[in-house]
Amino acid sequence: MSNLKIGVLLSGSGTNLQAIMDAVRDDGLPVEIVQVVSSRPDAYGIKRAEEAGIPVMVMNRSMYEDPRAADAHIVEALRGAGAEYVVMAGYMRKVTPVMLDAFPDRVLNLHPALLPSFVGAHAIDDAYNAGVKVTGVTVHLANEEYDKGPIVAQVPVRIEEGMSLDELEVAIHAVEHVLYPRVLRQIAEGRMTIGADRHVHIEE
């Protein structure tokens, strides 16, 4: 079985990109990162990709003034690199139908809460401030509704008594760095299917 070819979209430090690269190197994750796209020219994730020898396309704010044109540019790069899946890893832009139509049911997103709870860009803060006892991490397929696509996998994270917001963030990120490579392995091994009900099924 050949490795699953993915493109990774990021906007920041690239820790989830690093987790995927580490899993490829250390755990035999059958994935090849063929392209990285950064929405910001100052993202540290660019450096991580370059040091690993992965091609990087750097976007900027002005290029996103027309979001569909921006996605068309990204799609061209991803297709040119042979990407089969798009993996959003801390990507702070909403993808348009241009991207979703180019990679139907093959655009993954990682969300730092248990969807459908705490959607949006401040999920960790929102869960912490709401006083819930359990939050977590969700991997889902992106669609045209923000944080509403079919759920692929979820892992809960307990908010312990006296836990600070910073400690919760560390706990959330630790789960992300395990869950994303695990889901990618399941996809690469052909164990993920989508039912007629749009529910995702994973063969264990």
Q: Do the beta carbons of residue 17 and residue 10 sit within 8 Å?
A: yes
Q: Which tokens go with 51?
A: 């040091």
The catalytic position among 73, 111, 122, 199 is 111
199 in catalytic set: no
Name which of 141, 187, 203 is nearest 31 in CA terms. 187
| Sheet with strand 56-58: strands edge to edge | 56-58, 31-38, 4-10, 85-88, 107-111, 134-141, 151-158
Active site residues: 111
